[in-house]
Every structure is written in structure tokens, then in C-alpha cells.
Amino acid sequence: MLKLCRKDFLACRWWWMLALALFGLNWMFALRQSLGIMLLTILLVGGCLAITFYQDQLNKTEVLYASLPLTRAALVRGRYLLAGLLSLGAAAVSFVYGTFLMAVFGLSDLQVSLKALASVDGLVGYALALAFLTSLYFPLHYRLGAGKAVLAFFLCLLALAVAVPGLGELGLMPAPLARFVSSPGFLKDIGLRIIGMTGQVSLALGTPLFLAAAVGLASIMIAVSVRLSIRLYQKADL
């Protein structure tokens, strides 16, 4: 599977560099919310994955790589691994670049944001967010193809954004969570609130149990998503 990631790296490295350059510029104007940098980092991962899928579609390379001595399952797992590696790389880049900006330009506003990314709670939030987004997008991609999948993905996110507070209003959500998402401070700084909540959960459970629960949750999401994506891709005509 690492060979598949290497293949994507060779095919898309200059485009990834371009995404990285845009990311670097964007950071100057990063939201001063505590989630700002994390959001940009997630966008960087999403951007790199979108480039990779777009290059496949543009050059019709799915046909080529599905003709090589690989199973469809291996091709799908390779893409999930790529998402994981890009997530790790993007987090490392964000941290190094943020530290560099703070040290050289004295951008102390970034300190809160970087601390959030560098904390256990922040990293767990980042990993869970990426696991959730990947788990949602990939099956849509293997069912609908690159173009329609992006549309469906954002429609799902939109539906969730409407449904979560809506369910809270209707009393169909646990009361503490409903109070949390509808509290006035939530929209002011979503990142800080979410990390604050994960911090509370972490405190309540203790760090080892909290980490185990997070890893378990992410693993279940990814495992279900991988299985579904493989099934869908195995049925697809190329």
C-alpha cells in the first residue's frame, strides 16, 4: 500500500506543493479562532486529497492502476493510508510553520491556536475530525465518482449542521450536548469550545481511557468506511 502512496506522491507532488504554498499564505490571515489553524490544516489535507482524486479523473488513471497486479481492495486501502499520511504530514507542517512564524515574526496571536493543535485534546479532536470527514467522503467517492461525491459530501455536512442544533431544539439530543451547541459562546469560538468539551471528557475519563475511547471511535468509523468503500469500488465498472 505504501507503493500506492508513493505513486500518488510522484504524480501529485507539485500540486501538493502548490496547496502547501497557498496554505502558507493563508495562514497570515488565519482566523483568530483557536480552531483556525486546525481548520486550515484539515483544509490542507482535504485539498491534497482532492488534487489526487482530480488527477486520477483527469488522466483516467483508475483504469491503469486497476489493471496492475492489485486488487480493488488494495487500491481503496491505499487511499485511506494516503489520507492518514497526509493528515500526519499536514499536522507536522502546521506545527513547524506556526512555530517558525511565532519565532520570526512574533505572531503571538497564533499561540492559542498552536497550543490547541499541540495538546492531546487538540490532536485527538484533529484526528477524530479527519477520521469523520474521511469516513464520510470516501464511500461517497467510490459510489458516485469524484464530481458528484464532493457535492454529496458538502450536502451531508450541511444537513448535519442543520440537524444537530435542530435535534437539540426538538429535544432529540442529550440535554448537555444540546445546551452546549446552542450556547452563545459556541459560535464565537467553536474550536475552543469543542476542545474545551473534549478536555472535560478527557478529565472525566482520565487520559488513558480518553485516548482509548478516541482511538476506538476513530477505528470504528474508518473500519466501517473502508469496508463500505471496498464493497462499492468492487462493484464499479471502470
CA-based nearest residue to 177, from 159, 156, 169: 169
For position 85 contacting another protein by CB under 8 A, the verdict is no
For position 108 contacting another protein by CB under 8 A, the verdict is no
- Joined together, the cell numbers standing for residue 139 give 464511500
User: Are residues 142 and 234 in contact, defined by beta-carbon separation less than 8 angstroms?
Assistant: no
8 vs 189, which CB is nearer to another protein?
Answer: 8
CA-based nearest residue to 121, from 63, 202, 58, 65: 202
For position 235 contacting another protein by CB under 8 A, the verdict is yes
Q: Per-residue x/- marks for another protein, 10-49, CB under 8 A?
A: xx--------------------------------------
Among 1, 70, 102, 181, binds another protein (CB under 8 A): 70
For position 68 contacting another protein by CB under 8 A, the verdict is yes
For position 231 contacting another protein by CB under 8 A, the verdict is no
Instruction: Please classify residue 140 by burial: count the beta carbons closer than 10 Å to its beta carbon, then call 0-12 exposed, 13-18 middle and 19+ buried.
Output: buried
For position 188 contacting another protein by CB under 8 A, the verdict is no
Distance CA 102, CA 12 (A): 30
- Joined together, the cell numbers standing for residue 87 give 493528515
Q: From 17-25, 54-62, 93-101, 198-206, give the range in contact with another protein by CB under 8 A.
A: 54-62
Q: To the nearest whole angstrom, how small is the minimum distance from the Cβ of residue 63 to another protein? A: 5
Q: From 56-64, 113-121, 170-178, 213-221, give the range in contact with another protein by CB under 8 A.
A: 56-64
CA-based nearest residue to 134, from 60, 83, 61, 200: 83
Q: To the nearest whole angstrom, how small is the minimum distance from the Cβ of residue 146 to another protein? A: 15
Amino acid identity of 75? L
Instruction: Please classify residue 10 by burial: count the beta carbons closer than 10 Å to its beta carbon, then call 0-12 exposed, 13-18 middle and 19+ buried.
Output: exposed
- Joined together, the cell numbers standing for residue 205 give 475519563
- Joined together, the cell numbers standing for residue 25 give 499564505
Q: Residue count at the site for another protein (CB under 8 A)? A: 26
Q: To the nearest whole angstrom, how small is the minimum distance from the Cβ of residue 233 to another protein? A: 11
Q: Which residues bind another protein (CB under 8 A)?
A: 3, 6-7, 10-11, 55, 58-64, 66-72, 74, 234-238
